[in-house]
Amino acid sequence: MTPTRVLPLPGGCNFRDCGGYATTQGTRVRWGRLYRSGLMRGLGPEATAAVATLGLRAVCDLRRNAERAHDPNPDFGAQVRRFEWDTGQEASSILDQDFTGEDAAARARARMLRMYARMPFQLQPRFAGVFAALAHAASGATIVHCTAGKDRTGVAIALVLTMLGVPREVIVEDYVLTNHAVDLRAQLLQRKAAGAGLAASAEPLLSMSPAALDAVMTAHPDYLLASLDAIEARHGSVAAYVHDELAVPGQAIEQLRVTLLE
Find the CATH number of the domain harbouring 50. 3.90.190.10
Tell me if 10 is assigned to some domain.
Answer: no
If one counts every other C-beta atom within 10 angstroms of the C-beta of residue 169, the result is: 9
Tens of pLDDT, residue by residue, the chain (262 residues): 568 899 999 999 999 999 999 999 999 999 999 999 999 999 999 999 999 899 999 999 999 888 898 889 999 999 999 999 987 666 555 555 555 666 888 988 999 999 999 999 999 999 999 999 999 999 899 999 999 999 999 999 999 999 999 999 999 999 999 999 998 877 776 655 454 444 444 556 667 788 888 898 899 999 999 999 999 999 999 999 999 999 999 999 999 999 999 9
Give the chain's domain count.
1
Domain of 33, in residue numbers? 16-260
Tell me if 9 is assigned to some domain.
Answer: no
pTM: 0.92
Looking at residue 173, what is its pLDDT? Answer: 98
Tell me if 7 is assigned to some domain.
Answer: no
Looking at residue 181, what is its pLDDT? Answer: 93
Looking at residue 196, what is its pLDDT? Answer: 43
Tell me if 186 is assigned to some domain.
Answer: yes
Looking at residue 70, what is its pLDDT? Answer: 85
Tell me if 4 is assigned to some domain.
Answer: no
Looking at residue 195, what is its pLDDT? Answer: 46
- Torsions phi, psi for 162 (to 5 deg): -60, -45
Where does 119-201 show beta strands of DSSP type E? 141-145
Tell me if 3 is assigned to some domain.
Answer: no
Looking at residue 200, what is its pLDDT? Answer: 46
H or E element, residue 16: strand 16-17
CB 1, CB 110: distance < 8 Å = no
Looking at residue 109, what is its pLDDT? Answer: 93
Tell me if 11 is assigned to some domain.
Answer: no
Tell me if 181 is assigned to some domain.
Answer: yes
Looking at residue 249, what is its pLDDT? Answer: 97
Looking at residue 191, what is its pLDDT? Answer: 59
Could you give the C-alpha distances from 174 to 73, 149, 153, 246, in angstroms and in order? 24, 12, 11, 23
